[in-house]
Homo-oligomer: A and B are copies of this chain.
Amino acid sequence: MRQILIFLAVTCFAQTPPAPNVEATIQKIVTDPKFKTATAFLDTDYDLFVRELIELTEIPAPPFKEKVRAQAYLEKLRKVGGLQDVEMDPEGNVMGLRKGTGNGPLLAVLAHLDTVFPEGTDVKVKRKGTRLEAPGVGDDTRGLALMLEVIRALDAAKFTTQSDILFVGNVGEEGEGDLRGAKYLLTKGKYQGRIKNFLSIDGGEPGPITNGGTGSKRYRVIFTGPGGHSYGAFGLVNPAFAMGNAIAKFAQLQVPSKPKTTFNVGVVKGGTSVNSIPFEVSMDVDMRSESKEELSKLVDSFHGLLFAAVEEENKARSTDQGKIKVEAKLIGDRAAGETSRTSPIVQTVAAVVKSFGLTPSYNISSTDSNVPMSLGIPAVTIGRGKGGRAHSLDEWVDIDKPSQILAAQVAIATFLALAGAN
């Protein structure tokens, strides 16, 4: 999950009282003796959950290179019990269907396989008590492990539902993946058109509910020039100088904190050797906003400063052998989206959260839920448990047992409510 912003921590009930039947449904589920069985199962299953979380975290899954982890996860979906049609789709998503007893609307539950970390990143998990540290251990490997645990618990407690539930470990949520797994699932795969409710397990603790999708624009900005010898051709325009100037200008932009608007230079690369003027350098840039207008303003400023930086370099040095040129290739484009707080899916998740004594709050973020939101399919991203420093090398999760069981309980009750527990 692209980490979340809690912009309004309110009890949802103050504004949007749920239909009484939602509350009643939840009460029926959490007081069902089977729910007690499931909870007891979670207690005995905890060690397996931890082992699987560590095991999966230590299988690298860079963007577009999720396959090894995907195959390991596919095996786990085959063994977990209670799933049919366990398979990998052509995009690389792995999934299995928990058949319902009726013909309720299909619920899809996703956790993503990919991490932001490139090949070669040390993904060995360091354990310090209930704290596990490793790149990707939270985002979203904990979601993957939680999903397996929940499937086992549903099976152990012999819960059945009206609707089928499709459990998916999906590819391509992060960065340049640009939500390709969720897009394939919803617009091209065999379940296309059948998914009527969508949950992504890719948030933090169980209270916050992500029902808004942040809009983002991402570019690979490529600066080219004639190149040349660092000494012999000194004085020619240098694309690294143009890019440095652009970054310096970019870093000085002012953006509002409300609506939250952000920008980043995430990757820089280019040049052939220390003693050559580069002929090409590039940077990968991420810009996001909760507001379409602010995002548009930011993107405009960005294009303006690219132009200015290139012009300045072409004036500062010789263009005898060629000018600096710049191209900004769009590599990610996510429309902002929302699932209304008055929608049954949001009301259901909020009622579940509240039934466990937690206070729901509402977030806007960029997750796989952006895809169904943009298609008008009700979607929410829910929590996987406590953690922090996502996308950094010191990413961590806290897997203390009571909190872990609570996160699983919230997930189970949510799935059952949305799929219609029998």
Contacts and interface: CB of A to CB of B under 8 A. Distances in A.
Given A273-B175, A391-B229, A268 B284 contact: no
Interface string A115-126: 011100100000
Given A251-B244, A275-B266, A275-B286, A231 B366 contact: yes
A228 interface: yes
Interface in A78-135: 116-118, 121
Contacts of A268: 240, 243, 268-271, 278, 281
Contact of A264 (B267, B277, B281, B365): B277
A214 interface: yes
Interface in A232-263: 232-234, 238, 240-241, 243-248, 250-252, 260, 262-263
Nearest to A245: B248
Interface size class of A (residues with CB under 8 A): 35 or more
A389 interface: yes
A4 interface: yes
A390 B244 contact: no
A267 B2 CA distance: 30
Q: How many copies does the complex hold?
A: 2
A24 interface: no
A272 interface: yes
Contacts of A275: 2, 116, 174-175, 218, 264, 266, 286, 391
A374 interface: no
Given A238-B264, A240-B265, A233 B274 contact: no
A29 interface: no
A189 interface: no
A5 interface: yes
A138 B246 CA distance: 34
A230 interface: yes
Contacts of A4: 232
Contacts of A272: 116-118, 121, 266-267, 391
Contacts of A274: 175-176, 218, 220, 264, 266-267, 284-286, 331-332
A180 interface: no
Nearest to A219: B274
A421 to B, nearest CB: 34
Contact of A230 (B121, B260, B391): B391
A266 to B, nearest CB: 4
Nearest to A139: B229
A338 interface: no
5 contacts: A243-B244, A244-B250, A266-B271, A266-B272, A273-B284
